[in-house]
Chains A and B, each alone.
Chain A
């Protein structure tokens, strides 16, 4: 594990070069870090705290305030099940339950093999196709149990979307 920590340290050192060590740089740095590492690991936060002279706890406060920041690594594929009104009326909740069952994780979690991260969104704006879900950039409309099974039937293989 030490090597993973060291590698994050190295990456952070490089990433922080263009920034000034001032509080105002926090959010851009967090965004850049997430872009590079996919999420905000504790080791990276430690480095940012040292660089900006602010406490880890305060950074964590900012990270958890904004929905855009992740505390955990994301899977190769991000599945977003729509929980908007139209989708809800058309059974979106059951679609979510089915995806959870197939992937074996709850919303907001990532499969242990890091293939899938399951999220929900308030509305993706494709209400005519309800119920919907988005896998990575691709939208899937008029979802049914069967379609979920087709998509995730054998979730263990995982990367048929990659």
Chain B
């Protein structure tokens, strides 16, 4: 839209049409006092602080609600306006403690000073946790509020401090409504509302319940947006102002939120979402906002440990590194060594780990836990589109008119993307949820398809069939951009809706309705995650998703796309870096002679051509004695991998096992040497988030104890093993080498990231702006390839002995194997144990009551946990997580592999459940 020129306080200002006067002024660097307005919120016009005088407009329009027009003449600071503001603010302050606000000593006084006005502690600004960060005070200063003339009384409301993380003191509330509005408009939780009326009006919850009961997700948005001290973080509440700030990337999920860390005395005081970061636009979830206590946990590893006579003994780096070098040397070049890299570590570290395996140890046996989450996306989307990443962007979800969310509990696993979906739905977008479990997004959905676990190919292809039957396919897109359509269309014959209804358990009318909604509401985005990928036919599932998107032309456009939501902070990056057995960085095949030669030349060594083993295959090989040494960085397969009993056997057979981690965990118990690594907050580098955005990780804190960064450790070890080309000055230099060898990262450098913020690959050259949306003109492989699919049931179906299906799920409050989140006290206060979710119908049959201890048995093992009886899990199915090692679904899960992706079937296996005979102590 064209810019509009207007005059504000005599200055000529340009603003885009549709902007408000307030936005125009702020863009021009002019201050207008506001209390209720906030860039993240819709205009509200509640506090009346931003009143203005505008020529030819009557009265005193509020700047935050008045759109700019050409030639507008605005005054924001006349004596009359200031007097009006004073009068209004005085009314506000009859209920907000203000003796300090009107005191001339406010900037001189400290919390310990005796107040000459005899003001009580609870009413003093200098003892408010928001002191020096208070917007109310700023406004009062600007409008020069003298002594108050109106009577004031302290409300004496009790402090609400029973919730985790938050303290609320409504004596300080000025009812600007920012918290209520952000929780409703942006977060979508609506945990807060205005209650009561007139002089009794207060922000609160239904029936005065705790925030937890009211549906609060503790994302902290209300804290960050509150202009006063009404809602604050309890931790470090009284610690005062931070002495420095560092912006970095969140270490939890793949959304890649940018965090601003407020640091005082080398301790993180509080965390805030970075407002203009495209990945999260200021939002965080509970883990990013409050889940960083693990960094300074006393349980952190701070010194190398060497196992002597079954006990770990502290050692020096020299001892540890020389021992490892000596032990690993014999495995060079004989394919009996495997490296396990980490999706938690930086791109630079993953690059070095794969270089270490290939160039130093001479093997392609390098993999990491992306194998267990999205390897089927890599094979599936790689085959049909030519590129295996999320096609669109986080922020672009707001442009979607329709969502199909399948196999993703988005609000739990990618909370900030979940917020975007809810925000879009609130703005009129349609939502189709396909999930066997009743996930929170079902509440927002127009249609909820409750398919049986493992029947996704049938459901997705049934949707495609319904689209074709109704003639809703995008014929032009198919003809121009795709291939193999006829074969695909012929394959739909097997998926008539009656058959699909039988296979999936979803009524055919619902399938037809969902198909119509998805095909006719454009642009439509598909979001999927583990429910699709973690299956013995995961690749087929992914291809079925791709078929559906191509059929409706929903690719290469804003708000559309196929969006695999990546689980870990850098799982996209660790795959991009080639920490995979078959490719170098940028998915350059090790089997391709030219590409291999390129790397051989760059690294100065000869490289193996045969692709290596995948993660589950490595443990199988270790079990069989074919892999004898493993070097593992930042992983916990004893909790995260399927059929843990088998993993344990395999680990015990290793001749040498080195682990590098920030904590002791269930896996490194079996190590011969453990090396202490630094956390994300103590190192530099980059993470690549789910939308392919490469973002900087900045060192914020000094390393704990003797801990070293992963990249330093790998380099030191490589050099001791005679590796060439591991003498890097820092992560920036590692990225330079990687970018030279990797076309899709070719234009990315730390210097650019520092200057421009995140960059989305492909970004081949230094002047390339990055690629927000993939496949816009053509697919990466040329044409989009339709795939004819057949339905295959899960490998293990319920039978007489194991009559129930176990599916796995995640908690919003925990992360992966719990090594980080279980160190955060208040997260465990909300969810402190792994439960077995069971449908009331099955619970009644088995005489199990809510909270009973139960034993869950599969063909591979047995787990004990307490039962949570809930309709969220469908009849015939139970749900468990793998956050809690003592109640771990992966003792039970099935290691059957997808033939192409080699991903195990985490999402379905057959189990039986019985009430535990003996009560297990908690």
Please tell me if the beta carbons of B444 and A53 are within 8 angstroms of each other in the complex. Answer: yes
Band of interface residues on B: 10 to 19
Considering the complex, give the chain A residue whose CB is closest to the CB of B213: A56
Give the residue among A55, A65, A67 with the most B Cβ atoms within 10 A.
A55
CB 8 Å contact bits of A97-123 with B (1 = contact, 0 = none): 000000000000000000000000000
Is the C-beta of A26 less than 8 angstroms from some C-beta in chain B? no
CA distance A59 to B204 in the complex (A): 12
Is the C-beta of A54 less than 8 angstroms from some C-beta in chain B? yes
CA distance A65 to B443 in the complex (A): 25
Please tell me if the beta carbons of B197 and A57 are within 8 angstroms of each other in the complex. Answer: no
Please tell me if the beta carbons of A57 and B214 are within 8 angstroms of each other in the complex. Answer: yes
Chain A residues positioned under 8 Å from B443 (CB to CB): 50, 53
Q: Nearest chain A CB to B767's CB is how many angstroms away?
A: 48
Chain A residues positioned under 8 Å from B190 (CB to CB): 54-55, 57-58
Please tell me if the beta carbons of B196 and A58 are within 8 angstroms of each other in the complex. Answer: no
CB 8 Å contact bits of B130-148 with A (1 = contact, 0 = none): 0000000000000000000
Chain B residues positioned under 8 Å from A50 (CB to CB): 443
CA distance A118 to B193 in the complex (A): 28
Considering the complex, give the chain A residue whose CB is closest to the CB of B442: A53
Is the C-beta of B215 less than 8 angstroms from some C-beta in chain A? yes
Is the C-beta of B194 less than 8 angstroms from some C-beta in chain A? yes
Chain B residues positioned under 8 Å from A57 (CB to CB): 190-193, 204-206, 214-215
CB 8 Å contact bits of A47-79 with B (1 = contact, 0 = none): 000100111111111001101000100000000
Chain A residues positioned under 8 Å from B195 (CB to CB): 60-61, 64
Is the C-beta of B833 less than 8 angstroms from some C-beta in chain A? no
Is the C-beta of A149 less than 8 angstroms from some C-beta in chain B? no
CA distance A64 to B196 in the complex (A): 4
Which B residues are closer than 8 A to A by beta carbons? Answer: 184, 189-197, 204-207, 214-215, 443-444
Please tell me if the beta carbons of B215 and A61 are within 8 angstroms of each other in the complex. Answer: no
Please tell me if the beta carbons of B189 and A55 are within 8 angstroms of each other in the complex. Answer: yes
CA distance A42 to B207 in the complex (A): 7
Please tell me if the beta carbons of B206 and A56 are within 8 angstroms of each other in the complex. Answer: yes
CA distance A50 to B448 in the complex (A): 14
CA distance A67 to B193 in the complex (A): 17
Is the C-beta of A87 less than 8 angstroms from some C-beta in chain B? no
Considering the complex, give the chain A residue whose CB is closest to the CB of B216: A57
In A97-155, which residues have CB < 8 Å from any B CB?
none
- Contact partner of B215 (CB less than 8 A), chosen from A56, A64, A65, A71, is A56
CA distance A71 to B195 in the complex (A): 12
Task: Give 22 CB contacts A-B under 8 Å.
Answer: A42-B206, A45-B206, A45-B207, A53-B443, A53-B444, A55-B190, A55-B206, A57-B190, A57-B191, A57-B205, A57-B215, A58-B184, A58-B193, A60-B205, A60-B206, A60-B207, A61-B194, A61-B195, A65-B194, A65-B196, A67-B197, A71-B207
Please tell me if the beta carbons of A64 and B214 are within 8 angstroms of each other in the complex. Answer: no
Q: Nearest chain A CB to B178's CB is how many angstroms away?
A: 15
Give the residue among A50, A53, A61, A67 with the most B Cβ atoms within 10 A.
A61
Please tell me if the beta carbons of A65 and B191 are within 8 angstroms of each other in the complex. Answer: no
Considering the complex, give the chain A residue whose CB is closest to the CB of B180: A61
Considering the complex, give the chain A residue whose CB is closest to the CB of B205: A57
CA distance A64 to B197 in the complex (A): 7
Chain A residues positioned under 8 Å from B184 (CB to CB): 58
CA distance A61 to B443 in the complex (A): 20
Considering the complex, give the chain B residue whose CB is closest to the CB of A71: B207
Which A residues are closer than 8 A to B by beta carbons? Answer: 42, 45, 50, 53-61, 64-65, 67, 71
Q: Nearest chain B CB to A128's CB is how many angstroms away?
A: 30
Considering the complex, give the chain A residue whose CB is closest to the CB of B198: A65
CA distance A113 to B106 in the complex (A): 55
CA distance A119 to B705 in the complex (A): 68
Please tell me if the beta carbons of B215 and A55 are within 8 angstroms of each other in the complex. Answer: yes
Chain B residues positioned under 8 Å from A56 (CB to CB): 206-207, 214-215
CA distance A120 to B453 in the complex (A): 59
CA distance A50 to B196 in the complex (A): 22
CA distance A67 to B196 in the complex (A): 9
Please tell me if the beta carbons of A55 and B193 are within 8 angstroms of each other in the complex. Answer: yes
Chain B residues positioned under 8 Å from A64 (CB to CB): 195-197
Q: Nearest chain B CB to A21's CB is how many angstroms away?
A: 11
CA distance A60 to B193 in the complex (A): 8
Q: Nearest chain A CB to B705's CB is how many angstroms away?
A: 46
Chain B residues positioned under 8 Å from A71 (CB to CB): 207
Considering the complex, give the chain B residue whose CB is closest to the CB of A56: B206
CA distance A71 to B190 in the complex (A): 20
CA distance A59 to B191 in the complex (A): 11
CA distance A128 to B194 in the complex (A): 40
CA distance A67 to B215 in the complex (A): 26
Give 4 nearest A-B pairs by CB, closest first.
A55-B190, A61-B193, A60-B206, A56-B206
Q: Nearest chain A CB to B107's CB is how many angstroms away?
A: 38
Q: Nearest chain B CB to A53's CB is how many angstroms away?
A: 6
Q: Nearest chain B CB to A48's CB is how many angstroms away?
A: 11
CA distance A67 to B198 in the complex (A): 11
CA distance A50 to B197 in the complex (A): 25
Considering the complex, give the chain A residue whose CB is closest to the CB of B196: A64
Considering the complex, give the chain B residue whose CB is closest to the CB of A66: B197
Chain B residues positioned under 8 Å from A59 (CB to CB): 206
CA distance A45 to B207 in the complex (A): 10
Please tell me if the beta carbons of A65 and B197 are within 8 angstroms of each other in the complex. Answer: yes
Give the residue among B191, B194, B444 with the most A Cβ atoms within 10 A.
B194
Q: Add 8 more A-B contacts to A45-B206, A57-B206, A60-B204 (CB < 8 A).
A: A53-B443, A55-B189, A55-B190, A55-B215, A56-B206, A56-B207, A57-B204, A58-B193
CA distance A65 to B197 in the complex (A): 5
CA distance A56 to B192 in the complex (A): 9
Chain A residues positioned under 8 Å from B214 (CB to CB): 55-57
Chain A residues positioned under 8 Å from B197 (CB to CB): 64-65, 67
Give the residue among A54, A56, A57, A64 with the most B Cβ atoms within 10 A.
A57
Considering the complex, give the chain B residue whose CB is closest to the CB of A65: B197
Chain A residues positioned under 8 Å from B192 (CB to CB): 57
Chain A residues positioned under 8 Å from B206 (CB to CB): 42, 45, 55-57, 59-60
Chain B residues positioned under 8 Å from A60 (CB to CB): 193, 195, 204-207
Q: Nearest chain B CB to A109's CB is how many angstroms away?
A: 16
CA distance A55 to B207 in the complex (A): 12
Q: Nearest chain B CB to A59's CB is how many angstroms away?
A: 7
Q: Nearest chain B CB to A37's CB is how many angstroms away?
A: 15
CA distance A54 to B215 in the complex (A): 11
Give the residue among A42, A56, A65 with the most B Cβ atoms within 10 A.
A56
Chain A residues positioned under 8 Å from B215 (CB to CB): 55-57
Q: Nearest chain A CB to B180's CB is how many angstroms away?
A: 8
Q: Nearest chain B CB to A39's CB is how many angstroms away?
A: 12
CA distance A159 to B193 in the complex (A): 39
CA distance A71 to B204 in the complex (A): 15
CA distance A59 to B215 in the complex (A): 13
Considering the complex, give the chain B residue whose CB is closest to the CB of A49: B206
CA distance A58 to B189 in the complex (A): 10
Q: Nearest chain B CB to A105's CB is how many angstroms away?
A: 19
Q: Nearest chain A CB to B827's CB is how many angstroms away?
A: 23
Q: Nearest chain B CB to A46's CB is how many angstroms away?
A: 9
CA distance A55 to B193 in the complex (A): 9
Chain B residues positioned under 8 Å from A67 (CB to CB): 197
Q: Nearest chain A CB to B495's CB is how many angstroms away?
A: 31
- Contact partner of B191 (CB less than 8 A), chosen from A42, A45, A54, A55, is A55
Q: Nearest chain B CB to A43's CB is how many angstroms away?
A: 11
Chain A residues positioned under 8 Å from B191 (CB to CB): 55, 57
Chain B residues positioned under 8 Å from A42 (CB to CB): 206-207
Chain B residues positioned under 8 Å from A58 (CB to CB): 184, 190, 193
Considering the complex, give the chain B residue whose CB is closest to the CB of A57: B193
CA distance A60 to B195 in the complex (A): 7
Q: Nearest chain A CB to B194's CB is how many angstroms away?
A: 5
CA distance A55 to B216 in the complex (A): 11
CA distance A60 to B197 in the complex (A): 12
Q: Nearest chain B CB to A102's CB is how many angstroms away?
A: 27
Considering the complex, give the chain B residue whose CB is closest to the CB of A40: B207
Considering the complex, give the chain A residue whose CB is closest to the CB of B192: A57
Chain B residues positioned under 8 Å from A61 (CB to CB): 193-195
Chain B residues positioned under 8 Å from A65 (CB to CB): 194, 196-197
